[in-house]
Structure 1
Amino acid sequence: MVRIQLWPDNDVVQEKITIRAGKRQVNALVIKPKDYAGGAACVLWMHGGGLATGMKEMAYMTRAIDLVKKFGVVVVSPGYKLSWQEPYPAAIKDCYATLLYIKKHAKDLGIRDDQIMVGGESAGGGLTAALCMLARDKKSVNIAYQMPLYPMLDNFDTGSSRDNHNKVWNTRKNHMAWKFYLGRNVKKAVPPYAAPARQTDYTNLPPCYTFVCTDEPFYDETLAFVKKLKEAGVEAEVDIIEGMYHSFDLYEPDSPITRETVEKFLQRFEYALEHYHAPQN
């Protein structure tokens, strides 16, 4: 790993890694607290952007950096293939390769391998859910906790995504994003690794926390996801933010409602650190 400074932040250090899995190569960032001594949880954090835009450096704009600074965890942010570069299953393959790397190189990363967690916002939230399903089905990595924030889960229209004209993300953008990602299969019953809402078995998935807004397209699919987790016996919680729009916490970082939402998120994560562990096989 090569230590570099990609973002002006004196509280953390960054390392650039290249992950190779067969013919695939994934560039990722490892973000640690300054003077990191080892032994912390690791969070694989996947950026948003509708699967078509975004970059790994967005970890510094999202809830991921809060976890590094407040709890001293290690965040790994992969630069997964965007849909215009390569459609499904490229993105989930890149994220899965990163997950396998974390497990294999836990000692090198200085993390505890019984607290490998995953999270992300929007498209990254959808990848979070899909990755947990894939790891469970392959019995490859035991994930301790998942944080799919206002996740992009459903390639079919829902009540909240069908006729949504809100700012930042809406029906038109959502249709376009799924079309780029799934191509001719956009309205078909694709595997849950492509659209997690197609999942029929929610058992043995990691405990989950998310938050979502009432006015955004992903409201209904997020609530349905949490409901199905609970019905399958999985611990799952959702905070509902009234009257706000998609990814408001990134666009209004200093607003009172963002501060309140972030505080709840951090409280849930602190609880997860204390209560959720998943030793590796």
Structure 2
Amino acid sequence: MTYRFDPELAAVVPMLPAVDFADPRALRAQIAEFANANQPDLAGVDVLDLRVPGPPGSPKVPVRVYRPAGLTGMTAGLLNIHGGGFMIGSIAVDDAACLDLVRGLGVVIVSVEYRLAPEHPFPAGLEDCYAVLEWIAKAAGDLGIDPTRLAAHGVSAGGGLAAALALLTRDRGGPPLCFQFLGYPEVDDRLETGSTRRFVDTPLWNRPNAVISWNAYLGEGVPGTPDVSPYAAPARATDLTGLPPAYVSVMEFDPLRDEGIAYAQALLAAG
């Protein structure tokens, strides 16, 4: 592997763990062990774990609510959707990031523990996120959230789910989002972009892991076929009008780079 990493980042790359998505259960256990060994500083933030109503006929969804300590009145709300290739990750992994956002922005965050593939393929995880969005809208007053200032936030697969959630709530006439933060989003199952074809050995995320991820989420052999739903892979959407403003970030040496750029361009073209 030879990439022109920034010198400050290059020193860290050898320390990154090997991530093998072929065994998601073992990977989840490693991540849980890491999260348990790194308890975050809760200073200035009230944290509450709840289980809220899930999609019809499905289990309740665990969420973690982060509120600025001593909050009075209403503030903006953020639905946080963790990453992990649709297969791994948890609320706990995003603790530090959510705490930093609450302290820095004074917002209320609801982080969702959606069901994971391959045990729970599409649309289970997305429907969990939508159910939590509906719950936030109904409980906004109690949470201290202004329902007109509610945003979706996610990175990687979480960014893909945030993009899909924006499409889904628009089409269902559900709670409106005022903003979508899509951090290096996983939005295209076809794996045909230049970056997806090129980056087969990049750390943490690479083409082999992307193949495993989409097969787990959609079903073996389904990715790349004609009838994949845009709610699963938002790059498939043909109508991006009426969506909330978006911030899309990408990384240079990342298979997800080009699909993120293409999705941002498509959003731009749709106004």
Same fold per superposition (TM over 0.5): yes
Cα distance in 1, alignment partners of residues 174 and 143 from structure 2:
19
Per-residue CA deviations over 1:5-61 (Å, capped at 9, x if unaligned) read x84421211111211132221010001112222311000010011110000122223
Please report how far the alpha carbon of residue 85 of structure 1 lies from its aligned counterpart in structure 2 after TM superposition.
2.5
Name structure 1 gaps, 5 residues minimum.
1-5, 234-281
SS at match of 2:66: strand
1:145 partner letter: F
2:50 maps to 1:17: yes
Q: Distance in 2 between matches of 1:207 and 1:69?
A: 23
Question: Retained in 1: the 8 A contact 2:112–2:129?
Answer: yes
In structure 2, what is the equivalent of residue 166 of structure 1? Answer: 202
Residue 225 of structure 2: aligned partner: 188
- Aligned partners of 1:23, 1:110: CA distance in 2, in Å? 29
- Equivalent residues, number: 227
Matched residue, 1:36? 71
Aligned to 1:226: 264
Instruction: Report 1:198-213 matches (<5 A).
Output: 198-213=236-251
Is the radius of gyration larger for structure 1 or structure 2? 2
Q: Distance in 2 between matches of 1:116 and 1:74?
A: 10
Matched, 1:93 2:127: yes
**Structure 1: 4+ residue segments shifted above 3 A:** none
1:45: which partner in 2?
A: 80
Question: 2:136: which partner in 1?
Answer: 102
Conserved? CA contact 2:151–2:179, under 8 Å:
yes
Measure the CA separation in 2 of the matches of 1:141 and 1:94.
14
Say which structure is richer in strand: 1
CA contact (8 A) 1:57 1:77 kept: no
Cα deviations by residue, 1:43-98 (Å, 9 ceiling, x for unpaired): 00100111100001222233x33321111100000100010331111000000000
Question: Structure 2 unaligned runs (5+)?
Answer: 1-38
Q: What's the offset of the Cα at 1:215?
A: 1.1
Distance in 2 between the 1:78 and 1:87 partners?
A: 16
Task: Report the 3-state secondary structure (helix = DSSP H, G, I; strand = E; otherwise coil) of the residue aligned with 1:126.
Answer: helix
Helix, strand or coil: the match of 1:27?
strand
1:154 is aligned to 2:192: no
Q: Which residue of 2 aligns with 1:277?
A: none
Separation in structure 2 between the aligned mates of residue 169 and residue 32 of structure 1, nearest angstrom = 32
CA contact (8 A) 2:40 2:96 kept: no
If the length of structure 2 is used for normalisation, what is the TM-score? 0.81
Q: Does the residue aligned with 2:151 lie in a helix, a strand or coil?
A: strand
Letter in 2 for 1:101: W
**Structure 1's 17 and 171: CA in aligned 2 closer, same or farther, altered over 3 A?**
same
- The one-letter code of the counterpart of 1:69 is R
- What amino acid is aligned across from residue 107 of structure 1 in structure 2? G
Identical columns (%): 38
Using structure 1 for the length normalisation, give the TM-score: 0.78
Q: CA deviation at 1:219?
A: 0.7
Q: Which moved more, 1:199-208 or 1:159-168?
A: 159-168
Given candidates 179, 182, 189, the residue that maps to 2:215 is 179
Amino acid at match of 1:181: Y
RMSD: 1.3
> Which residue type is aligned with residue 171 of structure 1?
R
